[in-house]
Amino acid sequence: MEYSKEQISVEKPEKHKEQKDAVVSTENQQEFFERLERTNILPAEKREWSLDELKQNLDRTFCDCGQIALAKNKGKIFLTLSGGLDSTLALAFLRKNFPENEIVTFAMGGSVNHPDVLHARLAAEKFGSNHHEFIPEPGEIQEALAEHKSKFQEDDLEKVTKTGSVDVTLLYKYLSKFHPNVLLACDGIDELMGGYWDHRKRVSEDGKTVSEDERKQLFLRYWQELVPHHLSPLIKIGDNFGIGFLFPYLDQKIIESVSGIPLKDRTSKEVSKKPLREIAQELGVPKEIIDRPKRGQVGMLDIK
């Protein structure tokens, strides 16, 4: 797909030293997990924060990750693209830093009119990625279920279907045909920024106002579930297809920047991930994507 260089910054990326063990796989995941589990994502009292600092750290991190990906993938950057805020912002930063390099993106949905497919196509056209859409047939879905069960016998098949693991298995089986050694994944930013619907609740189910302490506990709970519920299954699936991961949003600098932001400035009742939406607007992310409600990879095979 073509893109207009007038629409984006084409500054030449700086050279950054490759980060040790930046690519995460089953071989080195434990150290990565332990770092995340030790991290306090709650804001310190009366700490100032800067949107510009967050933007600069994101820019630098995506530059670093892009350079690592280019080296590992023979001159290509691979990215899963749901057409949501997080993955589209990732694509925007990558294109900003790498205006001439090939960025290969992948979207999957239950039909050609699935919201993920439509919004990912919009993002790919805007930022000029080599974009691929995968609409699996019923037989491919059943084959993925059987394959997942045979390779991960300890998993509860009903549970992995509900949580979207089979969706992810299907997608990674498809994109493995393009032989990526390393893939950029956008996990973790929902937990940091408050991207889930629960983060926006101000009234509990029993009608009581949600206190600040209760909000903090909610952020901590989602953060503690990141490794066992999301990262560990994803890395296991990637390893099955020989794919390692870069997690830009979980870079230590990004975590430190976001952790300094008060919860009310991260997500409100009306708007989630407010700082990211401001940055996305500055980088030219289409309004339809900035305003899009969260879906994520779970439910990629829904028809609606």
- The predicted structure's pLDDT at residue 209: 83
Q: What are phi and psi of 133, to 5 degrees?
A: -110, 135
Blockwise average pLDDT, block size 10, the chain, 304 residues? 36 44 88 95 84 98 98 98 98 99 96 94 98 92 75 59 73 96 98 93 74 92 96 94 98 95 93 97 98 63 48
Amino acid at 40: N
- The predicted structure's pLDDT at residue 88: 99
Report the CATH number that the domain containing residue 114 is assigned in CATH. Answer: 3.40.50.620
160 assigned to some structural domain: yes
Domain assignment of residue 169, given as a range: 22-290
227 assigned to some structural domain: yes
Tokens of 105: 């993106």
Number of domains in the chain: 1
4 assigned to some structural domain: no
SS3 content of the chain, % helix, strand, coil (to 5): 55, 10, 40
Longest dimension (CA), the chain: 56
- The predicted structure's pLDDT at residue 142: 81
- The predicted structure's pLDDT at residue 7: 35
Closest CA to 61 of 95, 90, 102, 104: 90
For residue 207, the 8-state DSSP code is S
66 assigned to some structural domain: yes
